[in-house]
Chains A and B, each alone.
Chain A
């Protein structure tokens, strides 16, 4: 069965520092992978997605992610974090047949001044 693992429950980075959030997936074929962000009390917003092609994908708000099949990973990165990036980040995979998006447990990002 497809699954997504986010090993870090929370991460704290200084404003201006670089960021990497980890995501590992379990999937038999080429997965459809996503990163979503959620601010408190809000819905989720898509940051970026990977379906096929170039393994380095660019998203909104300066985020990027790299798909590495050999490591079953899809880590999210940002070169310089802003205080407004503090939020919950979810990695997700689209289940075979569509419609069912499976979310990881989430990583809470704290940004310190």
Chain B
């Protein structure tokens, strides 16, 4: 299994809603990532978890709250988002410390904030 699975694929939410994005991988990877990608732009790193501990937070607003319940799951909790937060949210995983430092990406969640 070399897949990273993200749900939902599409999400429309209002600015007062609370929602969560989910990501799952079964490759035994111990690093998991959230990226944000605006249209026609490269992915921008938001958070990195390494061995289930938050390793990098790229100064992301607190309305985005990551969670890593176990080594296979990664969540991104959303609350009080702004329209400018509309983007494709990509989850990725990798195996840290190996010579194979490549990222495996999910297909993303296309988020629209109204």
Residues of A bordering B, CB below 8 Å = 32, 34, 36, 41-46, 49, 51, 90, 94, 98-101, 103-106
Cβ-defined partner of A90 (8 Å) among B42, B48, B88, B96: B42
Query: Contact at A42–B99, with CB atoms within 8 Å?
Result: no
Rounded to whole angstroms, the CA-CA distance of A94 and B104 in the bound complex is 14
Rounded to whole angstroms, the CA-CA distance of A41 and B10 in the bound complex is 10
B50 at interface by CB-CB < 8 Å: yes
B102 at interface by CB-CB < 8 Å: yes
Interface residues in B23-38 by Cβ distance below 8 A to A read 31, 33
Cβ-defined partner of A46 (8 Å) among B6, B55, B96, B103: B103
Residue in A closest to B108 when the chains form the complex, CB atoms: A43
One digit per residue, 1 when the CB lies within 8 angstroms of any chain A CB and 0 when it does not, for chain B 66-85 equals 00000000000000000000
Rounded to whole angstroms, the CA-CA distance of A104 and B4 in the bound complex is 23
Rounded to whole angstroms, the CA-CA distance of A51 and B107 in the bound complex is 26
Q: A100-B56, A105-B42 are in contact. Are A44 and B103 (CB under 8 A)?
A: yes
